[in-house]
Amino acid sequence: MYKLYTHNDLDGVGGGIVAKLAFGDKVDVRYNSVMGLDTQLERLFDHEKKLDQYHLFITDLSINEENTKRVEELHRSGAKVNFIDHHKTALHFNEYDWGSVRVEYEDGRLTSATSLLYEHLLENKWIQKTKALDEFVELVRQYDTWEWDKNDNIKAKHLNDLFFMFSIDEFEEKMLERLTTQKDSFEFDEFEQKLLLMEEDKIERYVRRKKRELVQTFIDDYCAGIVHAESYHSELGNELGKEYPHLDYIAILNVGGKKISFRTIHAHVDVSAVAGQFGGGGHAKASGCSMGKDAFEQYVIDIYPLDPIRQDAFKNRYNVKESPKGTLYENRQGDKFFIYPQAENKWGIETKAKESQLNESFADFQSAENYLKRNYAAALSRDDIYVNYLIDYYIKEKNK
Protein backbone atom coordinates (compact mmCIF):
# COMPACT_ATOMS: atom_id res chain seq x y z
CA MET A 1 0.00 0.00 0.00
CA TYR A 2 1.11 3.52 -0.79
CA LYS A 3 0.38 6.94 0.63
CA LEU A 4 1.09 10.19 -1.21
CA TYR A 5 0.97 13.57 0.48
CA THR A 6 1.27 16.42 -1.97
CA HIS A 7 0.25 19.98 -2.86
CA ASN A 8 -3.28 20.96 -3.92
CA ASP A 9 -2.13 22.89 -7.01
CA LEU A 10 -1.81 21.54 -10.57
CA ASP A 11 1.71 20.21 -9.96
CA GLY A 12 0.62 18.41 -6.79
CA VAL A 13 -2.48 16.96 -8.40
CA GLY A 14 -0.45 15.99 -11.49
CA GLY A 15 1.63 13.91 -9.07
CA GLY A 16 -1.52 12.35 -7.62
CA ILE A 17 -2.65 11.45 -11.12
CA VAL A 18 0.59 9.69 -12.11
CA ALA A 19 0.62 7.90 -8.73
CA LYS A 20 -2.93 6.63 -9.32
CA LEU A 21 -2.01 5.54 -12.85
CA ALA A 22 0.87 3.58 -11.34
CA PHE A 23 -0.70 2.11 -8.21
CA GLY A 24 -4.47 2.28 -8.86
CA ASP A 25 -6.51 1.51 -5.73
CA LYS A 26 -3.38 0.74 -3.77
CA VAL A 27 -2.51 4.39 -3.28
CA ASP A 28 -4.16 6.84 -0.93
CA VAL A 29 -3.52 10.41 -2.16
CA ARG A 30 -3.96 13.48 0.06
CA TYR A 31 -3.84 17.00 -1.35
CA ASN A 32 -2.73 19.75 1.02
CA SER A 33 -2.26 23.49 1.14
CA VAL A 34 1.22 24.85 1.88
CA MET A 35 0.19 25.54 5.48
CA GLY A 36 -1.87 22.36 5.93
CA LEU A 37 0.59 19.57 5.19
CA ASP A 38 2.36 19.48 8.54
CA THR A 39 -0.91 19.16 10.47
CA GLN A 40 -2.07 16.38 8.15
CA LEU A 41 1.20 14.53 8.57
CA GLU A 42 1.06 14.89 12.36
CA ARG A 43 -2.40 13.39 12.26
CA LEU A 44 -1.12 10.54 10.12
CA PHE A 45 1.76 9.80 12.50
CA ASP A 46 -0.57 9.96 15.52
CA HIS A 47 -3.36 7.79 14.18
CA GLU A 48 -1.92 5.36 11.63
CA LYS A 49 -0.48 2.58 13.77
CA LYS A 50 0.71 0.47 10.85
CA LEU A 51 2.45 3.28 9.00
CA ASP A 52 5.57 1.16 8.52
CA GLN A 53 3.57 -1.11 6.23
CA TYR A 54 3.04 1.72 3.79
CA HIS A 55 5.35 3.26 1.23
CA LEU A 56 5.05 6.96 2.02
CA PHE A 57 5.62 9.63 -0.65
CA ILE A 58 5.75 13.35 0.11
CA THR A 59 6.04 15.68 -2.89
CA ASP A 60 5.92 19.35 -3.88
CA LEU A 61 5.76 20.64 -0.27
CA SER A 62 8.20 20.96 2.60
CA ILE A 63 7.75 19.57 6.10
CA ASN A 64 8.69 21.06 9.48
CA GLU A 65 11.42 19.88 11.83
CA GLU A 66 9.11 17.78 13.97
CA ASN A 67 7.77 15.87 10.97
CA THR A 68 11.28 15.57 9.53
CA LYS A 69 12.30 13.75 12.73
CA ARG A 70 9.30 11.44 12.56
CA VAL A 71 9.93 10.67 8.89
CA GLU A 72 13.57 9.90 9.71
CA GLU A 73 12.46 7.56 12.52
CA LEU A 74 10.00 5.87 10.20
CA HIS A 75 12.77 5.39 7.65
CA ARG A 76 15.12 3.94 10.32
CA SER A 77 12.43 1.50 11.38
CA GLY A 78 12.70 0.06 7.89
CA ALA A 79 9.68 1.67 6.24
CA LYS A 80 9.83 3.03 2.70
CA VAL A 81 9.76 6.81 2.44
CA ASN A 82 10.41 9.17 -0.49
CA PHE A 83 10.50 12.93 -0.22
CA ILE A 84 10.57 14.26 -3.78
CA ASP A 85 10.61 17.98 -4.43
CA HIS A 86 11.86 20.68 -6.80
CA HIS A 87 11.97 23.78 -4.60
CA LYS A 88 15.31 25.44 -3.89
CA THR A 89 14.20 25.97 -0.30
CA ALA A 90 13.96 22.17 0.20
CA LEU A 91 17.48 21.25 -0.95
CA HIS A 92 18.58 20.42 2.62
CA PHE A 93 16.34 17.33 2.54
CA ASN A 94 18.98 15.79 0.27
CA GLU A 95 20.97 15.12 3.47
CA TYR A 96 18.51 12.34 4.26
CA ASP A 97 18.48 8.94 2.58
CA TRP A 98 14.82 9.45 1.80
CA GLY A 99 15.16 12.96 0.42
CA SER A 100 15.60 13.71 -3.27
CA VAL A 101 15.31 17.33 -4.26
CA ARG A 102 16.27 18.53 -7.68
CA VAL A 103 15.67 22.01 -9.05
CA GLU A 104 17.03 21.68 -12.59
CA TYR A 105 17.67 19.05 -15.23
CA GLU A 106 21.07 18.81 -16.82
CA ASP A 107 19.87 20.71 -19.90
CA GLY A 108 18.80 23.66 -17.72
CA ARG A 109 15.05 23.03 -17.81
CA LEU A 110 13.43 23.41 -14.41
CA THR A 111 11.95 20.36 -12.72
CA SER A 112 8.50 20.01 -11.22
CA ALA A 113 7.12 17.64 -8.58
CA THR A 114 5.00 15.84 -11.19
CA SER A 115 7.91 15.34 -13.59
CA LEU A 116 10.24 14.11 -10.80
CA LEU A 117 7.67 11.70 -9.42
CA TYR A 118 6.84 10.43 -12.92
CA GLU A 119 10.52 9.77 -13.60
CA HIS A 120 10.86 8.01 -10.24
CA LEU A 121 7.89 5.78 -11.10
CA LEU A 122 9.37 5.06 -14.55
CA GLU A 123 12.77 4.13 -13.11
CA ASN A 124 11.11 1.63 -10.81
CA LYS A 125 8.96 0.34 -13.68
CA TRP A 126 5.81 1.10 -11.71
CA ILE A 127 4.22 3.01 -14.54
CA GLN A 128 3.81 2.53 -18.27
CA LYS A 129 5.23 5.29 -20.44
CA THR A 130 2.92 6.66 -23.15
CA LYS A 131 3.17 9.67 -25.45
CA ALA A 132 0.02 11.15 -23.94
CA LEU A 133 1.35 10.79 -20.41
CA ASP A 134 4.72 12.30 -21.37
CA GLU A 135 2.85 15.24 -22.83
CA PHE A 136 0.58 15.66 -19.80
CA VAL A 137 3.55 15.64 -17.41
CA GLU A 138 5.40 18.14 -19.60
CA LEU A 139 2.39 20.50 -19.66
CA VAL A 140 2.20 20.40 -15.87
CA ARG A 141 5.95 21.01 -15.63
CA GLN A 142 5.86 23.95 -18.00
CA TYR A 143 2.96 25.50 -16.18
CA ASP A 144 4.49 25.08 -12.74
CA THR A 145 7.86 26.50 -13.78
CA TRP A 146 6.42 29.31 -15.91
CA GLU A 147 8.34 27.97 -18.89
CA TRP A 148 4.98 27.93 -20.72
CA ASP A 149 5.04 31.71 -20.75
CA LYS A 150 8.50 31.88 -22.28
CA ASN A 151 7.61 29.10 -24.75
CA ASP A 152 4.16 30.56 -25.45
CA ASN A 153 2.73 27.15 -24.63
CA ILE A 154 -0.91 28.13 -24.20
CA LYS A 155 -1.92 24.48 -23.83
CA ALA A 156 -0.12 24.35 -20.49
CA LYS A 157 -1.98 27.41 -19.31
CA HIS A 158 -5.24 25.92 -20.53
CA LEU A 159 -4.59 22.78 -18.51
CA ASN A 160 -4.30 24.92 -15.40
CA ASP A 161 -7.43 26.90 -16.34
CA LEU A 162 -9.33 23.63 -16.57
CA PHE A 163 -7.89 22.52 -13.27
CA PHE A 164 -9.51 25.57 -11.65
CA MET A 165 -12.84 25.05 -13.43
CA PHE A 166 -13.40 21.64 -11.93
CA SER A 167 -13.11 20.25 -8.43
CA ILE A 168 -9.91 18.32 -7.78
CA ASP A 169 -11.88 15.04 -7.76
CA GLU A 170 -13.54 15.78 -11.10
CA PHE A 171 -10.28 16.90 -12.69
CA GLU A 172 -8.46 13.82 -11.44
CA GLU A 173 -11.19 11.52 -12.70
CA LYS A 174 -11.24 13.14 -16.15
CA MET A 175 -7.47 12.98 -16.54
CA LEU A 176 -7.22 9.39 -15.30
CA GLU A 177 -9.90 8.29 -17.73
CA ARG A 178 -8.22 10.12 -20.61
CA LEU A 179 -4.71 8.94 -19.87
CA THR A 180 -5.79 5.30 -19.61
CA THR A 181 -7.79 5.33 -22.86
CA GLN A 182 -5.87 7.76 -25.09
CA LYS A 183 -2.20 6.96 -25.30
CA ASP A 184 -0.98 8.67 -28.46
CA SER A 185 -1.49 12.29 -27.52
CA PHE A 186 -3.02 14.42 -24.81
CA GLU A 187 -5.93 16.54 -26.06
CA PHE A 188 -8.81 18.51 -24.60
CA ASP A 189 -12.28 17.34 -25.58
CA GLU A 190 -14.85 19.51 -27.36
CA PHE A 191 -16.65 20.52 -24.18
CA GLU A 192 -13.40 21.56 -22.51
CA GLN A 193 -12.35 23.56 -25.55
CA LYS A 194 -15.63 25.45 -25.41
CA LEU A 195 -15.18 26.10 -21.70
CA LEU A 196 -11.64 27.34 -22.31
CA LEU A 197 -12.82 29.79 -24.96
CA MET A 198 -15.46 31.16 -22.62
CA GLU A 199 -12.93 31.40 -19.84
CA GLU A 200 -10.53 33.30 -22.09
CA ASP A 201 -13.25 35.86 -22.90
CA LYS A 202 -14.05 36.21 -19.25
CA ILE A 203 -10.42 36.77 -18.27
CA GLU A 204 -10.01 39.35 -21.03
CA ARG A 205 -12.97 41.36 -19.79
CA TYR A 206 -11.81 41.08 -16.20
CA VAL A 207 -8.30 42.28 -17.06
CA ARG A 208 -9.68 45.18 -19.11
CA ARG A 209 -11.80 46.28 -16.14
CA LYS A 210 -8.90 45.99 -13.73
CA LYS A 211 -6.68 48.05 -16.04
CA ARG A 212 -8.98 50.98 -15.32
CA GLU A 213 -8.61 50.51 -11.56
CA LEU A 214 -4.81 50.32 -11.39
CA VAL A 215 -3.05 53.02 -9.37
CA GLN A 216 0.67 53.70 -9.22
CA THR A 217 2.91 54.94 -6.45
CA PHE A 218 6.49 54.74 -5.27
CA ILE A 219 7.04 52.27 -2.45
CA ASP A 220 10.65 52.17 -1.32
CA ASP A 221 12.61 52.48 -4.55
CA TYR A 222 10.07 50.81 -6.73
CA CYS A 223 7.29 52.27 -8.81
CA ALA A 224 4.45 49.86 -8.03
CA GLY A 225 1.15 49.31 -9.79
CA ILE A 226 -1.56 48.37 -7.30
CA VAL A 227 -4.92 46.77 -7.99
CA HIS A 228 -7.60 44.96 -5.98
CA ALA A 229 -8.58 41.58 -7.40
CA GLU A 230 -9.74 38.24 -6.08
CA SER A 231 -9.01 36.08 -9.08
CA TYR A 232 -6.78 35.63 -12.12
CA HIS A 233 -3.68 36.96 -10.39
CA SER A 234 -1.23 35.42 -12.87
CA GLU A 235 -3.07 36.81 -15.87
CA LEU A 236 -3.42 40.22 -14.27
CA GLY A 237 0.22 40.35 -13.24
CA ASN A 238 1.31 39.45 -16.72
CA GLU A 239 -1.07 41.67 -18.70
CA LEU A 240 -0.76 44.73 -16.48
CA GLY A 241 3.00 44.32 -16.38
CA LYS A 242 3.23 44.26 -20.17
CA GLU A 243 0.73 47.09 -20.60
CA TYR A 244 2.64 49.33 -18.18
CA PRO A 245 6.33 48.50 -18.56
CA HIS A 246 7.22 51.64 -16.57
CA LEU A 247 5.97 49.90 -13.41
CA ASP A 248 8.55 47.82 -11.56
CA TYR A 249 5.98 45.37 -10.28
CA ILE A 250 2.25 44.82 -9.87
CA ALA A 251 0.77 44.24 -6.42
CA ILE A 252 -2.57 42.46 -6.46
CA LEU A 253 -4.55 42.88 -3.26
CA ASN A 254 -7.14 40.52 -1.90
CA VAL A 255 -8.43 42.28 1.19
CA GLY A 256 -11.02 39.60 1.95
CA GLY A 257 -8.39 36.88 1.91
CA LYS A 258 -5.85 39.21 3.57
CA LYS A 259 -3.27 38.42 0.92
CA ILE A 260 -1.08 40.26 -1.57
CA SER A 261 0.40 38.76 -4.73
CA PHE A 262 3.38 40.41 -6.38
CA ARG A 263 4.26 39.96 -10.04
CA THR A 264 6.94 41.45 -12.24
CA ILE A 265 8.01 41.04 -15.84
CA HIS A 266 11.36 42.75 -15.19
CA ALA A 267 14.70 41.07 -14.57
CA HIS A 268 15.92 43.95 -12.39
CA VAL A 269 13.16 43.39 -9.81
CA ASP A 270 12.96 40.50 -7.34
CA VAL A 271 9.44 40.42 -5.93
CA SER A 272 10.28 37.62 -3.49
CA ALA A 273 12.30 40.28 -1.64
CA VAL A 274 9.31 42.64 -1.68
CA ALA A 275 7.06 39.93 -0.23
CA GLY A 276 9.84 38.99 2.18
CA GLN A 277 9.53 42.37 3.92
CA PHE A 278 6.08 41.26 5.04
CA GLY A 279 7.01 37.70 5.97
CA GLY A 280 6.08 36.22 2.59
CA GLY A 281 8.19 34.78 -0.19
CA GLY A 282 8.16 32.97 -3.51
CA HIS A 283 10.03 33.42 -6.76
CA ALA A 284 11.77 36.44 -8.30
CA LYS A 285 8.89 37.01 -10.74
CA ALA A 286 5.93 35.86 -8.64
CA SER A 287 5.55 36.03 -4.89
CA GLY A 288 3.02 36.63 -2.15
CA CYS A 289 2.50 37.48 1.48
CA SER A 290 -0.29 37.81 4.00
CA MET A 291 -1.62 41.31 4.42
CA GLY A 292 -0.73 42.37 7.94
CA LYS A 293 -1.20 45.82 9.41
CA ASP A 294 1.94 47.33 7.80
CA ALA A 295 1.17 46.00 4.34
CA PHE A 296 -2.46 47.08 4.68
CA GLU A 297 -1.37 50.60 5.50
CA GLN A 298 1.11 50.87 2.63
CA TYR A 299 -0.86 49.14 -0.08
CA VAL A 300 -4.46 49.96 0.86
CA ILE A 301 -4.81 53.01 3.12
CA ASP A 302 -2.01 55.20 1.77
CA ILE A 303 -3.01 54.79 -1.84
CA TYR A 304 -6.78 54.93 -1.37
CA PRO A 305 -7.03 58.65 -2.30
CA LEU A 306 -5.10 58.16 -5.57
CA ASP A 307 -6.77 58.21 -8.97
CA PRO A 308 -6.22 55.28 -11.29
CA ILE A 309 -3.48 55.47 -13.92
CA ARG A 310 -4.52 57.50 -16.95
CA GLN A 311 -4.71 55.25 -19.97
CA ASP A 312 -3.02 56.04 -23.26
CA ALA A 313 -5.31 57.28 -26.03
CA PHE A 314 -5.73 54.18 -28.19
CA LYS A 315 -7.29 55.31 -31.46
CA ASN A 316 -4.59 57.77 -32.52
CA ARG A 317 -3.28 58.00 -36.06
CA TYR A 318 -0.91 60.93 -35.55
CA ASN A 319 0.11 61.05 -31.92
CA VAL A 320 1.84 57.70 -31.87
CA LYS A 321 4.81 56.43 -29.95
CA GLU A 322 8.29 56.93 -31.43
CA SER A 323 6.97 59.41 -34.00
CA PRO A 324 9.86 61.37 -35.59
CA LYS A 325 7.69 64.50 -35.21
CA GLY A 326 7.40 63.93 -31.49
CA THR A 327 4.78 62.41 -29.21
CA LEU A 328 2.53 64.27 -26.77
CA TYR A 329 1.59 63.19 -23.25
CA GLU A 330 -0.47 64.82 -20.56
CA ASN A 331 -1.38 64.09 -16.97
CA ARG A 332 -4.47 64.69 -14.84
CA GLN A 333 -3.22 68.13 -13.84
CA GLY A 334 -3.23 69.11 -17.52
CA ASP A 335 0.57 69.30 -17.77
CA LYS A 336 1.82 68.49 -21.26
CA PHE A 337 5.01 66.67 -22.14
CA PHE A 338 6.49 66.29 -25.59
CA ILE A 339 8.94 63.47 -26.29
CA TYR A 340 10.96 64.13 -29.43
CA PRO A 341 14.13 62.84 -31.06
CA GLN A 342 17.12 65.16 -30.50
CA ALA A 343 19.68 63.11 -32.34
CA GLU A 344 20.27 59.49 -33.11
CA ASN A 345 19.66 57.44 -29.94
CA LYS A 346 18.83 60.59 -28.06
CA TRP A 347 15.31 61.49 -26.99
CA GLY A 348 14.42 64.64 -25.07
CA ILE A 349 11.32 65.78 -23.23
CA GLU A 350 9.89 69.27 -23.53
CA THR A 351 7.39 70.53 -21.01
CA LYS A 352 5.90 73.74 -19.73
CA ALA A 353 5.12 72.02 -16.46
CA LYS A 354 8.60 72.92 -15.30
CA GLU A 355 8.91 76.04 -17.50
CA SER A 356 11.84 74.48 -19.25
CA GLN A 357 13.15 71.34 -20.81
CA LEU A 358 13.63 68.40 -18.56
CA ASN A 359 17.36 68.18 -18.43
CA GLU A 360 17.67 64.52 -18.94
CA SER A 361 17.86 62.88 -22.32
CA PHE A 362 17.26 59.22 -22.99
CA ALA A 363 18.88 56.58 -25.15
CA ASP A 364 15.56 55.30 -26.43
CA PHE A 365 11.93 56.33 -26.62
CA GLN A 366 10.76 53.74 -24.09
CA SER A 367 13.12 55.07 -21.41
CA ALA A 368 11.82 58.61 -21.97
CA GLU A 369 8.24 57.39 -21.73
CA ASN A 370 9.01 55.34 -18.60
CA TYR A 371 10.48 58.44 -17.00
CA LEU A 372 7.36 60.49 -17.78
CA LYS A 373 4.96 57.84 -16.63
CA ARG A 374 6.85 57.09 -13.43
CA ASN A 375 7.39 60.69 -12.37
CA TYR A 376 4.47 62.59 -13.89
CA ALA A 377 1.80 59.90 -14.41
CA ALA A 378 1.33 61.20 -17.95
CA ALA A 379 -0.44 59.29 -20.72
CA LEU A 380 -0.58 59.58 -24.50
CA SER A 381 -2.80 62.52 -25.55
CA ARG A 382 -5.58 62.25 -28.10
CA ASP A 383 -4.92 63.25 -31.72
CA ASP A 384 -6.91 66.54 -31.56
CA ILE A 385 -4.86 67.76 -28.60
CA TYR A 386 -1.68 66.75 -30.39
CA VAL A 387 -2.61 68.61 -33.56
CA ASN A 388 -3.41 71.80 -31.60
CA TYR A 389 -0.13 71.48 -29.76
CA LEU A 390 1.81 71.23 -33.02
CA ILE A 391 -0.08 74.19 -34.54
CA ASP A 392 0.75 76.35 -31.50
CA TYR A 393 4.33 75.24 -31.75
CA TYR A 394 4.71 76.16 -35.45
CA ILE A 395 3.00 79.53 -34.96
CA LYS A 396 5.42 80.34 -32.18
CA GLU A 397 8.38 79.25 -34.31
CA LYS A 398 7.19 81.50 -37.14
CA ASN A 399 6.80 84.53 -34.91
CA LYS A 400 10.26 84.18 -33.46
**Chain contacts with Mn ion (rule: CB under 5 A):** 11, 60, 113, 144
Output the smallest distance, CB 114 to Mn ion, in A: 8
In the complex, the smallest distance separating the C-beta of residue 386 from Mn ion, rounded to whole angstroms, is: 49
CB-nearer residue toward Mn ion: 60 or 172: 60
Q: Assess contact for 251 and 277: CB atoms under 8 A.
A: no
Nearest to Mn ion of 58, 113 (CB atom): 113
**Residue number with CB closer to Mn ion (121 or 295):** 121
- Cβ at position 180, least distance to Mn ion in Å: 24
Shortest distance (Å) from residue 214 CB to Mn ion: 29
Distance from C-alpha of 382 to C-alpha of 391, rounded to nearest angstrom? 15
Closer CB to Mn ion, 11 or 172, in the complex? 11
Give least dist CB 223 to Mn ion, A. 31
Q: Compute how many other C-beta atoms are within 10 angstroms of the C-beta atom of residue 349.
A: 26
The rounded distance, in Å, linking the Cα atoms of 208 and 243 is: 11
With beta carbons less than 8 A apart as the criterion, state whether 300 and 255 touch: yes
Cβ neighbours of residue 395 closer than 8 Å, sequence gap 6 or more: none
Residue nearest to Mn ion (CB): 11
> Which residues sit opposite 362 in a β-bridge?
347
Distance from C-alpha of 115 to C-alpha of 11, rounded to nearest angstrom: 9
Which of residues 11 and 239 has its CB atom nearest to Mn ion in the complex? 11
Give the C-alpha separation, 288 to 135, whole Å.
30
Compute the least distance from the CB of residue 12 to Mn ion, in Å.
Answer: 7
By beta-carbon proximity to Mn ion, the closer residue of 113 and 275 is 113
Least distance between Mn ion and beta carbon 233 (Å): 17
For Mn ion, the closer of residues 70 and 87 by Cβ is 87
60 vs 330 by CB, closer to Mn ion:
60
Q: Tell me the C-alpha distance between 360 and 371, whole Å.
A: 10
Q: How far is the CB of 284 from Mn ion (least distance, A)?
A: 16
